[in-house]
Amino acid sequence: MDSELQRLAAACAAYTSDSRTARAGDLFVALRGSARDGHDFVPGLLAAGVSCVVQRETARRLALASAGRGRLLEVDDTHGAHRTLAGLFRRRFSGPVVGIGGSSGKTTAKEFTAATLAERFQVAKTQGSQNGELGIPKTLEQLRADRDLAVVEIGIDAPGDMARHARLVAPDVAVLTSIGEEHLNLLGSVEQVFREELVLFDVVRERGGRCFAPVDDSWLARLEGTPGVTLVPSEPRDLHPELEAPLRNPYLLRNAALACAVALQLGLQPDEIAGALQRLSPPPGRGVERRLSDGSILILDHYNANPSSMRAGLAAAEARAREVGLPLILVLADMLDLGTETGRAHEGLIPVLDRIGANRIWLVGEEMSRLGPSLAREGADVRAFTQSDAAAAAATALRASPAVVLFKGSRGMALERVIDRLAEADGSH
CATH homologous superfamily of 94-277 equals Mur-like, catalytic domain (3.40.1190.10)
* Global pTM value: 0.91
Query: What confidence tens digit (pLDDT) does each residue in 171-211 have?
Result: 999 999 999 988 889 999 999 999 999 999 999 999 999 99
Query: What confidence tens digit (pLDDT) does each residue in 324-347 have?
Result: 999 999 999 999 999 999 999 999
CATH homologous superfamily of 288-426 equals Mur ligase, C-terminal domain (3.90.190.20)
Q: Which residues contact 403 (CB under 8 A, 6 or more apart)?
A: 296, 297, 321, 326, 327, 328, 329, 360
Which of 370, 401, 397, 400 shows the shortest CA–CA distance to 385?
Answer: 370
Query: What confidence tens digit (pLDDT) does each residue in 245-290 have?
Result: 999 889 999 999 999 999 999 999 999 999 999 999 999 999 999 9
Q: Domain 2-85, CATH 3.40.1390.10 — does that match? A: yes
Position 35 scores a pLDDT of 82
Q: Annotate 170-234 with DSSP letters as a single string.
A: --SEEEE------SHHHH-SHHHHHHHHHHHHHHHHHTT-EEEEETT-TTGGGGTT-TTEEEEPS
Domain boundaries in the chain? 2-85, 94-277, 288-426
Q: Annotate 412-423 with DSSP letters as a single string.
A: GG-THHHHHHHH
* Cα–Cα dist 421/392, whole Å: 6
